[in-house]
A and B are shown apart, each in its own frame.
Chain A
């Protein structure tokens, strides 16, 4: 059978299309450095990532420390942060409540919170890292939506977190390297 020039073009177009399928349309980033939190209850604090933290990226743009969605669609998002308040506490009534948020665009608008999770540190476990995990959640995102990860110490906490400016609260737990991370997968 004779192959025409048109057929070769078709094959090339199809090949480019199929090679797109061969790579999953995902984004994964994790921090390779620990992060300090301020002892400011009720204030949103961003867990910032840097370009070197990107593991895999087929669906976002990462410029000036901002992660923006390249094309609109349905996405599956999840995240985690390992947090250690770094204090001991003194009574069994002491507690520290921390929330982790996955946010699009302005974090001060409630409707922009894509998903969140809470952890309540209690006496005996203040100086032990806990994993705050945001389970995979399906969300609709538009092109140029900015995705970010935030932490808030809730005002229901009754003791302070470690206030030493050199202490990093988002950190490697003893025995593992993971600090904080985020995954975005384009489903549709």
Chain B
């Protein structure tokens, strides 16, 4: 009888465990240009920086994070970013940060935060959070973190996703994705 119960509950209990957690201290540099708001600058990820994973199929050949099954997913992300510029002063400094879905040839943010920089933070690191966002994703969609030009007055050259040198505990980028329900649904807009 106990074994019978175990067989019934094992897949259900196993369900809630499917998640992916990533955290890195590494630095990346981007050149973001005005008018190129459809260009996603994807963040390079390193398998060594995966904290835990029971969601995606990942082996030595894996190049992409592929959604394993239809369902509702909860996404969070955190970016530590410095525009490293002096040109935003009194000009436009809108930059987008988020997680992009690539499915059926369309790239779009499924979870994202708009950050508008100004003269006070144009040359400082800011923490940009994508707070928990629930979306319905379909099997085989590719998921990737990205930065993109929002509305900029000038190019941001050599802007940095990273940390100050002295801060050893700083996280430059993190992302968590969790499958919260496998019920059938549909979501056209994000």
Contacts and interface: CB of A to CB of B under 8 A. Distances in A.
A135 B76 CA distance: 12
Chain A interface: which size bin? 35 or more
Contacts of B136: 55-56
A136 B132 CA distance: 8
Nearest to A78: B131
A163 interface: no
| Residue of B12, B15, B134 with highest tally of chain A CB at under 10 A | B134
B52 interface: no
Nearest to A30: B190
Chain B interface: which size bin? 35 or more
Contacts of A175: 37-38, 96, 148-151
Interface stretch (B23-31, B53-61, B107-115, B160-168): B107-115
A7 B13 CA distance: 20
A3 B8 CA distance: 14
Contact of A21 (B16, B118, B151): B16
B94 A174 contact: yes
Contact of B90 (A19, A123, A176): A123
22 contacts: A3-B1, A19-B12, A21-B16, A23-B180, A26-B74, A28-B134, A30-B190, A56-B136, A80-B113, A80-B131, A82-B114, A124-B90, A125-B93, A125-B94, A127-B151, A129-B151, A135-B131, A173-B96, A173-B114, A176-B96, A176-B98, A176-B148
